[in-house]
Amino acid sequence: MIKLPFRVSLLLPFFSSVLIAASASAQTIYVRAGKLVDPTAGTVRSDQILRIEDSRIAAVGPYAPPPKGSIVTDWSAYTVLPGLIDMHTHLVDVEQSSNVAGPLLHSAAEIALLGAKHAQKTLNAGFTSVRDVGTFRAFGDVAVRDAIEAGWIEGPRMMVAGAYLTVPGGGGEVTGLAPDVTVPSDMRVGVVSGPAQMTVKARYLFQQRVNFLKLIATGAVLAAGTEPGAPELTEDEVRAAVDEARRNNSYATAHAHGAEGIKIALRAGVRSIEHASLIDDEGIALAKAKGAWLVMDIYNGDYINEIGARDHWPEEILRKNRDTTDLQREGFTKAVKAGVKIAYGTDAGVYPHGDNGKQFAYMVRYGMTPMQAIQSATTVAADLMQRSGDIGSVTPGQFGDLIAVKGDPLKDITVLERVSHVMKGGVVVR
């Protein structure tokens, strides 16, 4: 009970845009849609009109002329969808390179400004909400989220983790440096050993107004000296984080490549698994039984492979990437068949921000229908994000977050790589 004011402040950054956007669009506006994709119903309807009042959708139906003098955004030549959601971005960091010291080359202020640039690119690509799953400089993501909500800069609605919760030297650390190099303390905020320390650190992150916890449960492809297949956090450590998240009305998600680490995290109660590269049949069954989501970044392996070979990235990283890419895609196909919930997440930051839509084609190639792929980036993602009432659909009550594309994404999913127009909270931003 004593936590109530804290919870309110935790949720405020996400919901406060009602007030911000309202000042920009206090009037009623209409959007005419040539075709409207409704991922909740799984249908596409022709010639629709949406009424948006004070940043939220108030009504949707077959086109009828709005009252004279109304403000109408005419997207009758386009297919309109809800704003897309990427559940796995790293907006507030340097983009991936082969330099292990890359994160150390920029100040916290520079990183936050970079985050602003990446946020704009992401929004322009049609992603009106993201879950940003970690930054090396702690809490830069909190600052960027709040700056967007305050209207200082343009970007997607962000849910942020604040820092990585990781074991010393683990997949969430800046590794590969000389042993006598001291990493700045703001890059080690989430380094933990043991469940008691996990509780302390998780509590501290929520105090700093993060939206959820990001655990590094196994080694990582891109962290030198760690192995993706190897478990890092113990089940007790993961459980301590899950419990603290629950006490804050939130949840934990776990980066986990290896089959054993995936199962440890699922048994301990995480809401979602990131990557799930080497998931086995038992892990798929466990995810299904637990009602957990998988967030599988099945596009970026090809990008790493191409750029890594061109720019001579270390063989260790390229090997780990090769080892995980094909198996992850096989696991994805199996998980789709098994009916496990899969939310759209790309690991943007590993590849250039703004290319987020490139993963749709992979998801269709590896077993989803185009509508399932769209749902993974709308309704399914919103549900995982605990924001179904606000985003991910075109039903009344939702934010007026919409995109317009040329062509039919159900026939050619790649049209989602080329978004023509973007509306956020009833305001056309592109």
Q: How far apart are CA 388 and CA 362, in angstroms?
A: 25
Nearer to Zn ion, 347 or 390 (CB): 347
Nearer to Zn ion, 275 or 341 (CB): 275
**238-242 LR contacts (CB < 8 Å, sep 24+):** 238/264, 238/265, 238/268, 238/269, 238/270, 239/195, 239/268, 239/269, 240/195, 240/196, 240/198, 240/199, 240/202, 241/165, 241/198, 241/199, 241/202, 241/213, 241/215, 242/268, 242/269, 242/270
In angstroms, how far apart are the furthest CA atoms of the chain?
71
The verdict on 93 binding Zn ion (CB under 5 A) reads no
Closest distance of CB 90 from Zn ion, Å? 6
Closest distance of CB 270 from Zn ion, Å? 15
Closest distance of CB 255 from Zn ion, Å? 6
The verdict on 347 binding Zn ion (CB under 5 A) reads yes
Token pair for 123: 């929004």
Task: Report which of 293, 276, 296, 422 is spatially closest to residue 354, judged by C-alpha positions.
Answer: 422
Q: Which stretch binds Zn ion (CB under 5 A): 21-29, 110-118, 283-291, 346-354?
A: 346-354
Amino acid at 56: R
- Site map (CB under 5 A) of Zn ion, residues 46-75, x = contact: ------------------------------
Closest distance of CB 347 from Zn ion, Å? 4
Q: Which stretch binds Zn ion (CB under 5 A): 208-216, 258-266, 345-353, 366-374?
A: 345-353
Nearer to Zn ion, 209 or 214 (CB): 214
Give the residue closest to Zn ion by C-beta. Answer: 347
Token pair for 83: 């704003």
**329 dihedral zone (left: phi>0; alpha: psi -120 to 50; beta):** alpha
Task: Report which of 148, 61, 82 is spatially closest to residue 380, judged by C-alpha positions.
Answer: 82
Nearer to Zn ion, 143 or 221 (CB): 221
User: How crowded is the C-beta side of 255, counted as CA atoms within 13 Å?
Assistant: 30
User: How crowded is the C-beta side of 248, counted as CA atoms within 13 Å?
Assistant: 26
For residues 299-326, one letter each, b for 16 or more C-beta atoms within 10 angstroms of the residue's C-beta and e for the rest, the string is bbbebbeebbeeeebeeebbebbebbbe
- Site map (CB under 5 A) of Zn ion, residues 125-164, x = contact: ----------------------------------------
Token pair for 36: 């409207």
The alpha carbon dihedral of 339, 345, 350, 353 has a sign of positive
Nearer to Zn ion, 35 or 131 (CB): 131
Closest distance of CB 348 from Zn ion, Å? 9
Q: Which stretch binds Zn ion (CB under 5 A): 123-131, 244-252, 260-268, 339-347?
A: 339-347
Closest distance of CB 360 from Zn ion, Å? 19
Nearer to Zn ion, 93 or 401 (CB): 93
Nearer to Zn ion, 38 or 132 (CB): 132
Closest distance of CB 77 from Zn ion, Å? 37
Nearer to Zn ion, 297 or 390 (CB): 297
Q: Which stretch binds Zn ion (CB under 5 A): 120-128, 140-148, 344-352, 389-397?
A: 344-352
Strand 341-342 versus strand 29-38 pairing type: unpaired
CA distances 290 to 132, 214, 263, 265, Å, are 24, 19, 11, 11
Nearer to Zn ion, 227 or 347 (CB): 347
DSSP 151: T
The verdict on 173 binding Zn ion (CB under 5 A) reads no
Contact of 231 with 203, CB cutoff 8 Å: no
Q: Which stretch binds Zn ion (CB under 5 A): 98-106, 347-355, 362-370, 385-393?
A: 347-355
Q: How far apart are CA 153 and CA 147, in angstroms?
A: 6
Closest distance of CB 296 from Zn ion, Å? 12
Nearer to Zn ion, 149 or 347 (CB): 347
Q: Which stretch binds Zn ion (CB under 5 A): 43-51, 69-77, 145-153, 343-351?
A: 343-351
Q: How buried is residue 107: exposed, middle or buried, by Cβ count under 10 Å (0-12/13-18/19+)?
A: exposed
Nearer to Zn ion, 191 or 216 (CB): 216
Closest distance of CB 186 from Zn ion, Å? 19
Interface with Zn ion: number of residues (CB under 5 A): 1
Binding residues (CB under 5 A) for Zn ion: these are 347
